[in-house]
Structure 1
Amino acid sequence: MNEVFRRRRHAEQEETAPAAEAPVPVRESGPWDADEPHPDTERVDLGGMRLPIGSGFEIQLNVAGDQIVGAVVMVEESALQVHAFAAPKKTGIWDEVRGELSRELTAAGGTCEQREGPFGAELAAEIMQDGATQPVRFIGVDGPRWFLRGVISGRAIADPAVAKTLEDVLRDIVVVRGDLPMAPKEPIELRLPAEARQAVEQQAAQEGRPSLDPFERGPEISETR
């Protein structure tokens, strides 16, 4: 009787013992998380995002109020707009965001079609801009506690070589999520690199205006080698 009791108790302990957490899989390509191994290449440090740079690249920053929330990489008559957002710890949000985008674009008079791209499901869309339609690609990548959205436009839509250049930029971005609690879909705030911030403030002081005024047009960082 005692032996049966011991076996039964041992079985109950096995059933109630907490399951060991599965190891986080190692990803073979980016975009990368700052806390995981990633290639050491030249990038512009924007705080919440480290953006790779290359010959002939021009970078502009997107601003909402007084916060930098995104960046645009321009090269060869094309543009890649990137925004990073907070996401839940265990679930991605690209499926949900993709559905929202599709409904919003259609309601605004555009067209939208889901396709398979190098990063998985993406949206091929035509949006209304300045009275004309413009083809764009919406790309989404779910990372650990973050979501990265990229929008490609311009010549890269029809030129595979230019498209690959921008796709490689997106693939080599490093997202710095940080440890602060954030609501899902809340933008991860960016900042000017120290040298660019100093140049903007010096120019503002010489012109006698507040240092954030240049954000009305969007600060620019150019790389010409």
Structure 2
Amino acid sequence: MIFSKGRRGAGRHERANQPEDGVPETPATPSRGPYDAAEAPAGVQRLDLGSLQIPAVEDVEVRVQADPDGTIQQVVLVHGENALQLGAFAAPRSEGIWDEVRDEIEESLRSQGARTSHRTGEYGTELLARVDTPDGPAELRFVGVDGPRWMVRALYQGAAAADPGVAGPLDAILHGLVVDRGQDPRPVREGLPLRLPKEVADQAGAGADAGTPAPVDGVVNGQQHPLRANPSPRPRNAD
């Protein structure tokens, strides 16, 4: 058994059905993302960060925390006072992992004194949390999407955490997001690798050497959003 808990839902991307003749049916392309790289709509301008390809949305700033070699540790989309932190993780072929991951995130937050609840959103069950920060209480909203051999975890912060109706452009990012899982075997729940495009990494590195790490094509190297309540799924058995 890969998981100690039973599967409670397949997520937005349903696994292919297995008819009597043994030939799997191809699931219909979803009407919104996150999309798997094999089904992503063409003709959309996106920022390629490796396993995540982020659509260009007006007035949304992309911030990353990256190592000197261009490996990204954290990616956050910012629109006004709202933020959306994104992560993608390996998942098994046979079942989604968001339900179990959500339970573990909730347990971790509650152990730190956070108050939690749930709501049903467009992707299924979301986790809401109210946490204490040095600047006072803050609202968080975790959204999970199970895809084919991957899971996206989206963390909304700011007013968009308490009121999804104001998420607007950040929702547009999630709706247009593309996940490139790759074919390499990975442990279940391992974070999929993120990297800066080479030209961006080179330009950001040159700016850092000159002492002026300015935004490059919408990406800010080394920036970090102040709210970091982002427990990552713990790796389990190999895929």
TM bucket by the smaller chain?
A: 0.7 to 0.9
Could you tell me how far 1:116 is from its partner in structure 2?
Answer: 0.1
Alignment correspondent of 2:191: 187
Alignment correspondent of 1:117: 121
Normalised by the length of structure 1, the TM-score is 0.78
Aligned in 2, Cα 1:160/1:113: closer, same or farther, shift over 3 Å? Answer: closer
Alignment correspondent of 1:57: 60
Distance 1:123 1:131 in 2: 22
Alignment correspondent of 2:45: 42
Q: Does residue 25 in structure 1 map to residue 22 in structure 2?
A: no
| Matched residue type, 1:188 | L
Aligned in 2, Cα 1:133/1:25: closer, same or farther, shift over 3 Å? Answer: same
The farther-off stretch of 82-91 and 59-68 is 59-68
Structure 1 residues 126-141: aligned runs within 5 Å: 126-130=130-134, 132-141=136-145
Q: Residue 59 of structure 1 aligns to a residue in which SS?
A: strand
Q: Residue 133 of structure 1 aligns to a residue in which SS?
A: strand
Identity of aligned residues (%): 36
Alignment correspondent of 2:158: 154
Q: Is the 8 A contact 1:88 1:145 kept in 2?
A: yes
| Matched residue type, 1:115 | R
**How large is the RMSD of aligned CA atoms in angstroms?**
2.4
Distance 2:67 2:153 in 1: 16
Please list the CA deviations of residues 115-134 of structure 1 after superposition, one character each: whole Å capped at 9, or x if unmatched.
10111111111122226221
Task: Structure 1: give runs of 5+ residues left out of the alignment.
Answer: 1-17, 208-213, 220-225
Normalised by the length of structure 2, the TM-score is 0.74
Could you tell me how far 1:203 is from its partner in structure 2?
Answer: 2.1
Could you tell me how far 1:136 is from its partner in structure 2?
Answer: 1.1
Q: Residue 99 of structure 2 aligns to a residue in which SS?
A: helix
Distance 1:77 1:20 in 2: 51
Q: Is the 8 A contact 1:80 1:151 kept in 2?
A: yes
Larger-gyration structure (1/2): 1
Could you tell me how far 1:62 is from its partner in structure 2?
Answer: 3.8
| Matched residue type, 1:104 | S
| Matched residue type, 1:157 | A
Aligned residue pairs: how many? 196
Q: Residue 121 of structure 1 aligns to a residue in which SS?
A: strand
The farther-off stretch of 158-167 and 74-83 is 158-167
More helix by share: 1
Could you tell me how far 1:39 is from its partner in structure 2?
Answer: 4.9
Question: Equivalent of 1:163, from 164, 167, 187?
Answer: 167
Q: Is the 8 A contact 1:76 1:162 kept in 2?
A: no
